[in-house]
Chain A
Amino acid sequence: MKIFSVLALALSVAACATSPGQTSREDPYEDFNRSMLEFNLAVDDAVLEPASQAYTAVTPRWGRDRVADFFGNLGEPVTFVNDVLQGEPDRAAETGIRFVVNSTVGLAGIFDVMRFGGMEGHDEDFGQTLAVWGVDSGPYLVMPLLGSTNPRDLVGFGVDRAMSPTNYVVYSGDDDEDLAIRSGMVILNGLNARSRAQTAIETLREQPEPYIALRRTYTSQRDAEIRNGQTDPNAYQDLPDFDDF
C-alpha cells in the first residue's frame, strides 16, 4: 500500500539532522483523504455526536473537567518520556512534578492542582519527537476514525500508545475484565473529548471547504506544537503580496 511505502520513506530520513523536520504542504492523497473525512463526519453525525450529547446531558461541566484532568494526568508519563527524548530536561522535570503532585494531592489526577497553582501542563508526543529529530512529516493523511495525521504522526501515535502505562496496568487480574476496564476508559475519554470539541466541530462543518480548513489548521498547529508554542520567527517573511491580483 502506498501509505506504508510513504511511511517507510518518511522514517528513512536521516535522524541526525539538528533542525526540526519539515511538515509537508503537499497532498498527494487528497481524494482518499476527502473520502475519509466524509466518512468520519458521517460517523460523527450518526454515532459520536448523539452519544456525546447524551453524555453531556448527564454529566455536568464540573464532572467533564474532572474526567479531562484525569485522562490528561494519565498522559503525563508519555509526555515525560518525549520531553526526555527531545532533550528538554526542564520541561521533563515540570511534567514529572505535575504527574507526582496531581496523582497524589490531586486525587489520582482528578484535580489538576498544579494548573490551579500556576504550572500549566503541556503535551508532547512521539510524532513531535520524530520532528525534533529531523524526520519530515510526509504527506497529509486522514485516517478512518483517527482523523488528521501524517506518516510521522501516525508512527508517533502507535509508539505513544505502546509506551502508555495504562496498557500494562493490571486492574483485576482477569484478562477479560481488564480488557473491559481499558475499553471503558477509552470510551469515556473519547466521549469526554468529543463533548469538549462540539463547538469546534460545528465550526468546521460551517467552513466553505472543511477539508482544506482542517488540513491547513492541522498542519500549522502541529508545526506550532513542535516549536513548543513559540511563534515562527520568520512568520512575516513569506506573507503574500496583496497587489498581485
Chain B
Amino acid sequence: MAHFIKTIAIAAGVALATGFSAAADQASENYVRVNANAALDTLNNPELDADDRRAEFQALMNRFTDLERVSRFVIGRYARTFSDAEFESYLTAYSRYGLATYEAELDKYRGEEIEVTGSTDRNDSDSVVETVVRRASGDLPVRWRVLKMDDGNYQVVDVALEIDGNLLWLAIEQRAQFIAILDRSNGDAQELINTINGMTARLEARAVAQRTDASNAIPGATPQSGR
C-alpha cells in the first residue's frame, strides 16, 4: 500500500536498471545529457528573473520535446476524431498545462545534475536513455524515450521514473487517464480541455503561491530542515 502511494506521489511530483544492454546510441545519450542539463542550468541561473527563466525554459522545451506528437499520443485514437478546431484548442490547453507543470514542479530540482548511465536502442530511430538525477535526498533514476526524426534531429517523447523497480512512463500514464475521460464522455473534446484547464489553473495557483512565499522569505534566513 505504502509503496504504490509513494509511487504516485513521486511520479506526479516530477510530472514531467538496469540489466539492459550497454550504451547503443551515443548521439541519443549526448542529446539527453546536453539538453536535460541545459534545462537544469536554466533553473540554476541566478541572473534570470522569473519571466526570463520561463521564456528560456519554454524555448528549450520546445526544442527538446515534440509536444504535438506527444499531445496526439496521449489522446490515442481520438486524435483522428477531433475536428481541426478542437485539436487546436486541445493543443493550446495541453501546451499551457505542460509549461505550468514545469514551473510548478521543476523548481524542486534546482541545483541538481543529471548523469547519463546508459542507453538501449529499441530500433534505429528509437532509444531509451538511462540517467540518474543526483539529489541530496537520494538518486532518482529517470529514463528518456528519444526518437530520431527524419531530418536527423532527436526529440524526447516520454520520460519514465523508476521507483522500487516500477517504471512509470509519464506520457503512457497520462494517455490512460485522458482516454478514460474521453471514453466516458463519448469523445467530447471540450470535456478533456476543461479538465486540462482545471489542472493548469491549480498548478499556476501553486506557482504563484510559491513565488509569494519566496518573496516573503527573509533574505539570508536559514531554511528549515526536514519535510
- Encoded as 1 (CB less than 8 Å from any A CB) or 0, chain B from 152 to 193 comes to 000001100011111111001110111011000000000000
Select which of B6, B8, B122 is within 8 A of A236 by beta carbon.
B122
Q: A211 CB to closest chain B CB, in angstroms?
A: 8
Q: A137 CB to closest chain B CB, in angstroms?
A: 14
Q: At the interface, yes or no: A221 with Cβ under 8 Å from chain B?
A: yes
User: Chain B interface: which of A95-103, A106-114, A212-220?
Assistant: A212-220
CA of A206 to CA of B226, assembled, Å:
24
Nearest A residue to B21, CB-CB: A236
CA of A39 to CA of B174, assembled, Å:
24
CA of A204 to CA of B177, assembled, Å:
12
Nearest A residue to B17, CB-CB: A231
Contact across chains for B178 and A208 when beta carbons are under 8 A apart: yes
**Size of B's binding interface in residues, CB under 8 A:** 54
Q: A70 CB to closest chain B CB, in angstroms?
A: 15
Q: At the interface, yes or no: B221 with Cβ under 8 Å from chain A?
A: no
Q: At the interface, yes or no: B110 with Cβ under 8 Å from chain A?
A: no
CA of A218 to CA of B166, assembled, Å:
10
Contact across chains for B166 and A224 when beta carbons are under 8 A apart: yes
Select which of B76, B167, B177, B202 is within 8 A of A235 by beta carbon.
B167
CA of A216 to CA of B4, assembled, Å:
10
Q: At the interface, yes or no: B19 with Cβ under 8 Å from chain A?
A: yes
Contact across chains for B9 and A200 when beta carbons are under 8 A apart: yes
CA of A235 to CA of B122, assembled, Å:
11
Interface residues of B in 25-77 (CB under 8 A from A): 69-70, 72-73, 75-77
Q: B12 CB to closest chain A CB, in angstroms?
A: 4
Q: B46 CB to closest chain A CB, in angstroms?
A: 29
Q: At the interface, yes or no: B85 with Cβ under 8 Å from chain A?
A: no
Contact across chains for B9 and A213 when beta carbons are under 8 A apart: no
CA of A22 to CA of B164, assembled, Å:
19
Contact across chains for B5 and A200 when beta carbons are under 8 A apart: yes
Q: At the interface, yes or no: A91 with Cβ under 8 Å from chain B?
A: no
Contact across chains for A223 and B12 when beta carbons are under 8 A apart: no
- Encoded as 1 (CB less than 8 Å from any A CB) or 0, chain B from 210 to 227 comes to 000000000000000011
Q: At the interface, yes or no: A196 with Cβ under 8 Å from chain B?
A: yes
Residues of A contacting B17 in the complex (Cβ-Cβ under 8 angstroms): 230-231, 235
CA of A70 to CA of B194, assembled, Å:
46
CA of A232 to CA of B169, assembled, Å:
13
Nearest A residue to B227, CB-CB: A61
Enumerate 30 A-B pairs (CB-CB under 8 Å) in ascending A order.
A201-B5, A203-B13, A204-B5, A208-B174, A208-B178, A208-B196, A209-B176, A209-B177, A209-B178, A212-B176, A212-B177, A212-B180, A213-B176, A217-B4, A217-B8, A220-B166, A220-B168, A221-B163, A221-B166, A224-B166, A225-B165, A227-B165, A231-B165, A231-B167, A233-B19, A235-B167, A236-B120, A239-B172, A242-B73, A242-B158
5 additional contacts (CB under 8 A) given A197-B5, A217-B168:
A61-B226, A208-B195, A231-B19, A243-B69, A245-B72
**Which 6 A-B pairs have CB atoms at the shortest separation, nearest pair first?**
A231-B17, A221-B4, A209-B177, A224-B166, A224-B165, A200-B9
**A residues touching B (Cβ–Cβ < 8 Å)?**
61, 123, 147-148, 193, 196-197, 199-201, 203-204, 206-209, 211-214, 216-218, 220-225, 227-233, 235-236, 239-240, 242-243, 245
